[in-house]
């Protein structure tokens, strides 16, 4: 995987010191980023964090106030959109309503002077790749939302750009269609070798699609990593909370030994333990744990354990098909989310509303986070 060996592979996109100001407002505040060939890289963040602005600077639709954009080793900061080896697919798809599917897909190639059998072959290839061959003569308004999205994709790849920029590519699709579209996009990246950079606010989508993602907040990249690294080893509360549910126990770090931190929590007789993070002894911090890492049993039924064991009451319960989600209020007043797989084992389904329970988690399955 090239992104795991950055020293051996040149990035296809390289951003250095990118700042974008609109008047006095700074939408992007100093971004450095490398994206490697063949990646599906997500820019992930909430509304207004600057992800679309960053994508538009890659496309050439905005010029950075400061910094340099390199594509394939070439400085393209000042290049116009059509001079960049880049194509962008807009959330609205921007299809021409009066043209049929084949003409929509052919449009960009024709403008570049491609004619005759080459034009026909390339359009036919793109249509086949997106399973649109049977729809070639339809107009956009005779297509479903999912089919329109595929036309927009076919149009974006037919020019064989090095980089495809996708702004919320699946945003207009319903949940069921999104799933098949996600896999289609992954297959397309694999088949064509086109590097894809995707803007999304949907962490689940970023997790499914991405080789790596950058989590953005207020114009800054907070963390870059594989979905797994971002989820399992977030460097901050912001990233931890953005990527899924997490329960926090606030306290003070009293010791760090062999990569495990010990946290004193007010009202608890015993300390909590977690994988040490970027917090030193004597500093405030929080032990953070994901719902699926917390185990639960009726009081008295938990195996004998030494650490990270809490007593509480079930305050909420939701059956979600594959798992059941519990909200447990601990004696000290913490609210802890617990999910448990709904196995065939009846003993795993014995916990109910208002039950007194014990919950526990492995130190290695929890993380220590600082105060930011």
Chain residues in the site for ligand ATP (CB under 6 A): 22, 25, 27, 45, 47-53, 201
Nearest in space to 150 (alpha carbons), one of 134, 172, 130, 170: 130
Q: Shortest approach of ligand ATP to residue 223 CB, angstroms? A: 16
Nearer to ligand ATP, 44 or 208 (CB): 44
CA–CA dist 26, 156 (Å, integer): 30
CA–CA dist 170, 191 (Å, integer): 19
Q: Shortest approach of ligand ATP to residue 167 CB, angstroms? A: 8
CA distances from 58 to 55, 86, 349 (A): 5, 8, 51
Nearer to ligand ATP, 159 or 201 (CB): 201
| Residue 251 · residue 284 · CB < 8 Å | yes
Q: Shortest approach of ligand ATP to residue 214 CB, angstroms? A: 12
CB half-sphere exposure, 161, CA atoms < 13 A: 24
Q: Shortest approach of ligand ATP to residue 52 CB, angstroms? A: 3
CA–CA dist 147, 169 (Å, integer): 13
Nearer to ligand ATP, 202 or 362 (CB): 202
Q: Which single residue is written with the structure tokens 């896999």?
A: 183
Nearer to ligand ATP, 24 or 306 (CB): 24
Q: Shortest approach of ligand ATP to residue 64 CB, angstroms? A: 13
- Return the ∠ at Cα 160 (arms to 156 and 165), rounded to 5°: 45
Q: Shortest approach of ligand ATP to residue 45 CB, angstroms? A: 6
Nearer to ligand ATP, 48 or 284 (CB): 48
| Residue 237 · residue 224 · CB < 8 Å | no
Nearer to ligand ATP, 11 or 219 (CB): 219
Nearer to ligand ATP, 62 or 125 (CB): 62
CA–CA dist 354, 171 (Å, integer): 39
Nearest in space to 251 (alpha carbons), one of 229, 269, 233: 269
Q: Shortest approach of ligand ATP to residue 107 CB, angstroms? A: 26
Q: Shortest approach of ligand ATP to residue 215 CB, angstroms? A: 12
CA–CA dist 141, 149 (Å, integer): 12
Nearer to ligand ATP, 49 or 261 (CB): 49
Cα-Cα end-to-end distance for the chain: 32
């Amino acid at each position: 995987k090239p992104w795991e060996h950055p020293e051996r592979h040149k990035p296809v996109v390289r951003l250095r010191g990118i700042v974008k100001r609109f008047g006095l407002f700074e939408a992007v505040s100093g971004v450095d980023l490398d994206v490697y060939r063949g990646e599906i890289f997500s820019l992930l963040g909430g509304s207004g964090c600057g992800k679309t602005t960053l994508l538009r600077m890659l496309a050439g639709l905005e010029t950075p106030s400061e910094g340099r954009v390199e594509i394939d080793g070439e400085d393209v900061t000042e290049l116009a959109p059509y001079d960049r080896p880049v194509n962008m697919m807009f959330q609205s798809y921007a299809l021409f309503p009066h043209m049929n599917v084949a003409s929509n897909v052919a449009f960009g190639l024709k403008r570049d002077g491609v004619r005759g059998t080459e034009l026909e072959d390339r359009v036919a290839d793109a249509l086949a790749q997106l399973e649109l061959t049977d729809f070639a003569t339809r107009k956009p308004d005779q297509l479903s939302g999912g089919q329109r999205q595929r036309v927009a994709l076919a149009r974006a790849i037919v020019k064989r750009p090095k980089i495809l920029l996708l702004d919320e590519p699946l945003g207009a699709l319903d949940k069921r269609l999104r799933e098949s579209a996600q896999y289609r996009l992954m297959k397309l990246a694999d088949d064509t070798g086109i590097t894809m950079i995707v803007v999304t606010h949907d962490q689940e989508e970023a997790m499914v699609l991405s080789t790596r993602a950058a989590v953005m907040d207020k114009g800054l990249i907070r963390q870059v990593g594989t979905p797994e690294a971002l989820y399992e080893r977030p460097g901050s509360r912001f990233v931890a909370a953005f990527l899924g549910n997490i329960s926090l126990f606030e306290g003070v770090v009293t010791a760090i030994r062999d990569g495990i931190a010990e946290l004193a929590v007010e009202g608890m007789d015993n300390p909590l333990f977690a994988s040490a993070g970027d917090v030193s002894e004597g500093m405030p911090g929080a032990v953070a744990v994901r719902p699926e890492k917390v185990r639960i049993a009726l009081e008295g039924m938990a195996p004998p354990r030494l650490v990270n064991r809490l007593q509480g009451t079930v305050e909420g319960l939701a059956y979600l098909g594959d798992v059941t989600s519990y909200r447990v209020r601990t004696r000290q007043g913490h609210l802890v989310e617990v999910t448990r797989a709904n196995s065939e084992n009846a003993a795993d389904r014995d916990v109910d509303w208002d039950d007194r329970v014990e919950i526990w988690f492995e130190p290695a399955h929890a993380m220590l986070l600082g105060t930011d």
